[in-house]
Amino acid sequence: MVSVYIPVQNSEEEVRVSLELLPRDASDILDILKAEQAPLDLWLVIAVLKTVSVLQFFDSRFREYFKQGKIEQFRQILEEGSSPEIDEYYADVKYERIAILNALGAYYSYLGKVETKQREKDDHFILATQYYNKASRIDMHEPSTWIGKGQLLLAKGDLDQASAAFKIVLDDNRDDNRDNVPALLGQACVLFNRGRYSDSLELYKRALQVHPNCPASVRLGIGLCRYKMGQFEKARQAFKRALQIQKMLRLLWPLESWICKQMKAADETWKGMEKMQKAFEIYPYCAMALNYLANHFFFTGQHFLVEQLTETALAVSSLGLMKSHSYYNLARSYHSKGDYEKAGMYYMASVKECNKPHDFVLPYFGLGQVQLKWGDFRSSLSNFEKVLEVYPENCETLKVIGHIYVQLSQTEKALEVLRKATKIDPRDAQAFLELGELLIQSDAGAALDAFRTARGLLKKNGGEVPIELLNNIGVLHFERENLRLAGLAEQTFREALGDGVWLSFLDGKVHSPPVDSDASSRQYNDLQFFRRLEEEGTAVDLPWDKVTTLFNHARLLEQLHDNEKASILYKLILFKYPDYIDAYLRLAAIAKARNNTQLSIELIGDALKVNDRCPNALSMLGTLELKSDDWLKAKDTFRAAREATDGKDSYATLALGNWNYYAALRSEKRGPKLEATHLEKAKELYTKVLVQHPSNFYAANGAAVVLAEKGQFDVSKDIFTQVQEAASGNIFVQMPDVWINVAHVYFAQGHFALAYQNCLRKFYYNTDTQVLLYLARTHYEAEQWQDCKKTLLRAIHLAPSNYTLRFDAGVAMQKFSMFTLQKTKKTADEFCICSVTEENTIDFECLAFDALYVPVRSTVAELKNAVRVFSQLSTASSLHYHGFDEKKIETHVGYCKHLLDAAKVHHEAAEREEQQNRQRLELARQVSLAEEARRKAEEQRKLQLEKRKQEDLLKQVRQQEEHFKRIKEQWRTTEPASKRKERSQMEDEDGRGEKRRRKGGKRRKRDKKSRYEMDETEGDMMDGEMEDDDAYVNNEDDGNRMNDQEDDKADNNAQVLAAAGLEDSDAEDDAGAPSSNINRRRRAWSESDDDEPSVRQLEASPTRENLAEFPGSDGEA
Amino acid sequence: MKLAGLKSKENAHEESIWAATWVPATESRPALLLTGSLDETVRLWRSDELDLQGTNTGHCLGVVSVAAHPSGVIAASASLDSFVRVFDVDTNATISTLEAPPSEVWQMQFDPKGTILAVAGGGSLSVKLWDTATWKLVATLSVPRPEGSNKPADRSGSSKFVLSVAWSPDGKRLACGSMDGTISIFDVARAKFLHHLEGHFMPVRSLAYSPVDPRVLFTASDDTHIHIYDAEGKSMIGAMSGHASWVLSLDVSPDGAAVASGSSDRTVRLWDLNMRAAVQTMSNHTDQVWAVAFRPPGGTGVRAGRLASVSDDKSISLYDYS
């Protein structure tokens, strides 16, 4: 029990006044004091119980009264003690009077400090100043007065003057004032408020050294400094010590609890909250505690309490920063409730209360968030930038700023900021996610890396990886890896999809139902299949957030050519979400790829039922209608598609352009006027697209085609080459058309490039007969007949029912035989000359013989093949099944027959020539043999000659027999020809015999023998031979002429056929007619082209849909 | 169920190889591989080393199809000029030359008993049946034209042009595939058309019955799919997708558990019929794979399964199937 003893005047007795039992009425004590004329210091003791520091005065003694509600009494006592009477009475007691005055000053400055109303606050401060001034008047140099003044100034917020006041004390060398503890503390406080925490800490430490038993406030100061300097553990120790010394609950508990929170220890937070609540109970009007409590409740989600607490705090506090905190709390509460309006208001108020972002940055952040929500990106950006000024390395802020830059489409800046964010905190999955999303557009690879990192981080933290992220990773894998690592994409999609009914489809446990063969065209209606599955107890569920991923997975499967599974997934999507147009479109695209036009159109119809202005569906319908030759409908559909997008969808415009282009070339009558207008229109449309999208490959391609059509090959080639280069750099777009078109231009300009071959290998798996046809034509032009034939045979093998190819093959063979026939004649002569001039060249002769014989033989074979092909064609055409009309077939048949005759003539000529050549050869051989023989002895020569002749003869006979047999076997069908051959062979035999006869009589017998064998025919032979010779000459002429005629006819035929839209390769043209060359090439060009884009370009539609789909999915993420 | 590459013969022919089949083993020799090529030759190969046994010439234009008699003694080859040459496998002696103008010749197959040779007749819209004893044409099975389409099918050739034939293992049924994707089923004994199987809309270049179930028919089409039909019940049991381009050929393994297919996408795939999915993809060919063929079981102690594939790249590949 603390008590004071008041000495009784003039005696040794003392009056004991217990502090706990302070009289209710201060006047009692005053009376005692007055009556006993107690020393003045007792007056103060009663009131103040003289303490070392003014701070302690506030916190301990004064509170005794304050708490007991005895402020009045206190003031009464002190005012009594400073009254003029006292001054007079105690005039010589300077120090005590000063102390009392100072106590009063301190009292009033405290009142001023805690007073919330500005006017009364000012009053209090004025009173306090008066008292201090009074004290100063008693002694100018009294340090405690200066300290008091300093405190007062500090309370008024006048840091500079306060500092000056404290400095006066500290610089005063008179006493030991250098270590004047209150002054030190005051100065420390000033420094603290100026943010010079370490200096402040030094001063506090000095104070502690000087006065080790100093009150808790010093330790409190140390703790605060440490706290501000981020040394939480040390701060906490200091606070604990302070608490031990003195129970400064009101201030300390909140602080300590806040530190606990900062240290992020959950249980300590809770402890801290308990302390805070204690503090709250002890003193319900401390704004700081209120704020912290509110803060706590905010985190526990009790918004109602937050609002109440902060409102109270606002009411009791006038300090800007504190108010700012309160406003901030309120704003935050509203913010989290989604009341952005109010939240924004309060944030704004909060920002207004604390002008410098360095003091309290959080409301700027909040305000930025709200403004972001409102879409006010610029102000939001400036707020966040303020936050960034204070915390330049704050990831959250960096991310938000990055986001805003994205919104303001300043991608570069956004990338920079986000990269910085990820660099600062490489474990922030969110930042990587945003970075990845940003990169998707520009750099898929880097985006994928970012997404992967994000996924890794999320997984490491045990968090659930959002389905969107997995979806994006999958899509990127899908797009970027070019299907090489499609497995990865598939895996990712699977992970994203998790468990569900689709797994059983994907794993092939459940197959699509058996389909009745007749009903297969209505296959898509088998949604019943899913119903049945449901009935069987399989849950057919598809959560909405997985639809996109499932769709993408199906796309992937489709890309991997697993169309079956893809279809089931699409159907599953449609079963659950019948409005998912894209699934219809994909199903239609699959059906289209499988040539199931009917089903495809039905599916598109379904899609249009969902949205009859869906441009994708309309475009696709248009291409389908084109495919089924429904020209007018297609045009309307494309127009509708274009209108549906207000002409912005370049695809529809392109399609219309293409339509016009085909129309220009397809029209049966080929009106040049119509053609020109169509072309012009096409060009106009292409140009329109190009204006909208200057980098549209297809439009550029189309425009170039039109240019080429007009004969401006150089320009068009340039364009094609550019497009080709651009396209080859892009993995999403493959444009074989351009390759082919480039090749066309080269071709038209007379360069037989191998571009076609490249196209074939690169794009069509060698399955495109049209390109093979181009290739064949290139060979044809280059007179590589065998290559041409082989290429055509390949084409026939690929497209067996295309009879045009057979026709072309026949022409190629005929051409080949004609060519070789002409050539062999020439070479035969050369060979003969050689063999005559050179001696001793039997082997060489044999070679020459072979060289002559073989080509002729193969020529004949080829001709036979040609005849067969043509005759087959003529009979086949009589079956009406390849769509030629009656008249054309007739001309066709006529032409084939002509060819057949021509072939016969050729054949005969060949045979004859062969024989003649052989004869000549034989002659030469005889000569050489004779010469050789002459050099040898008579008998030996005789013998040898005999032997050789015998051998030769035998060989000839054998050869002829063999030949005869072979020909008989192979050419049974053309009996007359072979008969003729037979005869000419005999004739040859005969002729040789005659020559021999002339040479030497000794061989006659044997000759006679052989002659005898052939006697029967010899009679006619001579005549026949003569005639034949004439006929041969005639025939040769005839043949040539006829060939020309036929060529002309072929030309005519070709033109007729071409006019009818038959895609003849017009290979039958005469290669030697230069005048028609340009025309022909031009036609070739146009023909080859007019099918080209019709198939290729429109095939682009699925690709386009892909592209359309993926951004969508990204958008969701 | 897997394939393992055994041997690959580069430049086995001078040109693209278009056809291949196994000639069953006889008492005197094991089974041989018979291949036909654009270079107008037919060649015989000894497995497993793929040594050249013989080269048959005489065809004009490319050889599009080869077929072997179940006895292994005779075989037939056909070329684009529409001649079928029937020859003795061991001596290469020509037994007969068949033609039935104006019908072309595409795929051919001997019936399981070896009494009839069925030949797909292309534009004649029919399958020609030749008696193997007399080499006379015994029947023409015509594919009925679709009702109500008197107008000729369009010129791109999506008509009923017959490309491929297959005998059911019991020899009672004959299936043929055509350019427009329809499959026709015939009752051979009565020489009567039974019904169509629909589902493909692009050329069916190859089809095969399951050796274990005479009802089940597998078809390969340009639409990149392989379909499984119940040929009697007219229904499609399932479809298998995975090839990137046309499926040019298929064959069913002798155990009936797997199907092998060759495609324009240059791969050979092995399909597990239980899973209805591709279990293996061989990509050793560098061009379209025109034919795949499982070696029939039998022969002198040869149990191991063999699959051969031939391609436009002029090579033959041999795999071990187990």
The pLDDT > 90 percentage for chain A reads 0
Give the residue from A590, A763, A797 with the most B CB atoms within 10 Å of its CB, the best one to mutate: A797
**pLDDT tens, A21-31?**
444 455 555 56
Residues of chain A contacting residue B246, judged by C-beta atoms under 8 Å apart: 765, 767
A477 CA: distance to closest CA in chain B (Å): 19
Two structure tokens written together for A215: 């009150």
A1048 CA: distance to closest CA in chain B (Å): 25
What is the predicted pLDDT for the residue at B169?
92
Q: What single-letter DSSP state applies at residue A1003?
A: G
Closest Cβ–Cβ partner in A512, A794, A868 for B38: A794
- Cβ separation B223–A594 shorter than 8 A: yes
Between CA B13 and CA A72 the distance in angstroms is 122
Residue with the larger pLDDT of the pair A41 and A1: A41
Contact indicator for B243, B261 with CB cutoff of 8 Å: yes
- Cβ separation B104–A800 shorter than 8 A: yes
- Please state, in angstroms and as integers, the Cα–Cα distance from residue A921 to each residue in A796, A841, A982, A1033, following that order: 41, 11, 19, 21
Q: To which residue do tokens 């093959």 refer?
A: A809
Contact indicator for B204, B163 with CB cutoff of 8 Å: yes
Show me where the domains of chain B are located: 3-143+158-321
**With 70 as the cut, is the pLDDT of residue A482 above it?**
no
**With 60 as the cut, is the pLDDT of residue B6 above it?**
yes
Q: To which residue do tokens 């390395």 refer?
A: A393
Strand-by-strand arrangement of the B305-311 sheet:
B3-9, B316-321, B305-311, B289-294
Closest-CA residue to B122 (of B67, B180, B63, B178): B178
Between CA B87 and CA B178 the distance in angstroms is 28
The model's confidence at residue A1068, banded by pLDDT at 50, 70 and 90, is: very low
What are the phi and psi torsion angles at B97 (to 5°)?
-120, 125
**Region of poorest pLDDT, from A175-189, A998-1012, B41-55, B70-84:** A998-1012
Between CA A727 and CA A724 the distance in angstroms is 5
Between CA A864 and CA A859 the distance in angstroms is 8
Closest Cβ–Cβ partner in A512, A766, A861 for B287: A766
Between CA A694 and CA A698 the distance in angstroms is 11
Tell me the three state secondary structure of residue A228. Answer: helix
- Cβ separation A517–B241 shorter than 8 A: no
What is the predicted pLDDT for the residue at A122?
79
Closest Cβ–Cβ partner in A596, A790, A801 for B157: A801
- Please state, in angstroms and as integers, the Cα–Cα distance from residue A341 to each residue in A366, A466, B278, following that order: 12, 31, 60
Amino acid, single-letter form, for residue A208: L
The model's confidence at residue A854, banded by pLDDT at 50, 70 and 90, is: low
Residues of chain B contacting residue A883, judged by C-beta atoms under 8 Å apart: 152-155
Which residues fall within 8 angstroms of residue A132, CB to CB, at 6 or more apart? A101, A102, A105, A145, A148, A149, A152
**With 60 as the cut, is the pLDDT of residue A20 above it?**
no
Radius of gyration of chain B (CA): 18
**pLDDT tens, B121-178?**
888 888 999 999 999 999 999 888 765 444 444 444 447 889 999 999 999 999 999 8
Neighbour count for residue A1031 (Cβ, 10 Å)? 15
- Please state, in angstroms and as integers, the Cα–Cα distance from residue A316 to each residue in A275, A306, A310, A453, B169, following that order: 21, 15, 10, 50, 100
**pLDDT tens, A503-544?**
777 776 666 666 654 444 455 456 667 777 777 776 667 777
What is the predicted pLDDT for the residue at A382?
78
Q: What single-letter DSSP state applies at residue A520?
A: G
- Cβ separation A797–B18 shorter than 8 A: yes
In CATH, B3-143+158-321 is 3.40.50.720: no
Contact indicator for B263, B243 with CB cutoff of 8 Å: yes
What is the predicted pLDDT for the residue at A1049?
38
B300 CA: distance to closest CA in chain A (Å): 37
Between CA B78 and CA B119 the distance in angstroms is 9
Residues of chain B contacting residue A516, judged by C-beta atoms under 8 Å apart: 234-236
Q: Which of A188-192, A820-824, A854-858 has the highest mean pLDDT?
A: A188-192
**pLDDT tens, A623-647?**
888 877 777 788 888 888 877 777 6
Between CA A470 and CA A491 the distance in angstroms is 10
Q: What single-letter DSSP state applies at residue A178?
A: G
- Please state, in angstroms and as integers, the Cα–Cα distance from residue A383 to each residue in A357, A363, A418, following that order: 9, 9, 18
CA atoms within 13 A of residue A368's CA, in its CB half-sphere: 24
Contact indicator for A661, A680 with CB cutoff of 8 Å: no
**Region of poorest pLDDT, from A65-74, A195-204, A323-332, A933-942:** A65-74
Contact indicator for A363, A331 with CB cutoff of 8 Å: yes
Residue with the larger pLDDT of the pair A440 and A92: A440
**With 80 as the cut, is the pLDDT of residue B184 above it?**
yes
**pLDDT tens, A229-248?**
766 667 666 666 666 655 44
Residue with the larger pLDDT of the pair B115 and A503: B115
What is the predicted pLDDT for the residue at A976?
46
Q: Which of residues 274-293 of B touch A (CB under 8 A)?
A: 275-277, 287-288
